[in-house]
Amino acid sequence: MPCTCCHNTARSSAGLLTDRFVTASAAVSNKLAYVDPSTDHAIIKVDNTTTVPYNDKRNTVRINTLDKFSVGSVWVADMVYV
C-alpha cells in the first residue's frame, strides 16, 4: 500500500488551524514517528515536548494513502494508546 505520509499542511478544527503536518524526515528527526527499540512498537504522535507560541501550529504526523477501499472493508488496528 503506497503511503503519502507526512504532509507539510495544517488541519482545521472548527475553522482553526491547530496542527502542522511535517515531512517524513522531520517526523523522524523530531521523534514524532519511530519504532521504540525496547518494545518494537511503532510510535506516531503529536509534538508534546516543545512550547508552541500563541497562534502557531503544533507539529504532528498524518498518514494517508491513495488506495481506495470498498464499502464494507474491515480495518484492524492493534493499538496500545489512542
Cα–Cα dist 82/80, whole Å: 7
Quick check: is 22 in a domain? yes
Q: Where are the alpha helices (H) located in the chain, listed in sequence order?
A: 24-29
Residue numbers of the domain that contains 52: 10-60
Quick check: is 71 in a domain? no
What global pTM score does this model have?
Answer: 0.63
Quick check: is 66 in a domain? no
- pLDDT for 77 equals 85
Quick check: is 33 in a domain? yes
Quick check: is 79 in a domain? no
22: DSSP letter: P
Evaluate if residue 66 carries a pLDDT over 70: yes
- pLDDT-derived band at 35 (thresholds 50, 70, 90) equals very high
Quick check: is 36 in a domain? yes
Report the number of distinct structural domains present in the chain.
1
- pLDDT for 56 equals 84
Evaluate if residue 2 carries a pLDDT over 50: no
Quick check: is 75 in a domain? no
51, three cell numbers: 512550547
Quick check: is 69 in a domain? no
Q: Are 8 and 20 in contact (CB under 8 A)?
A: yes
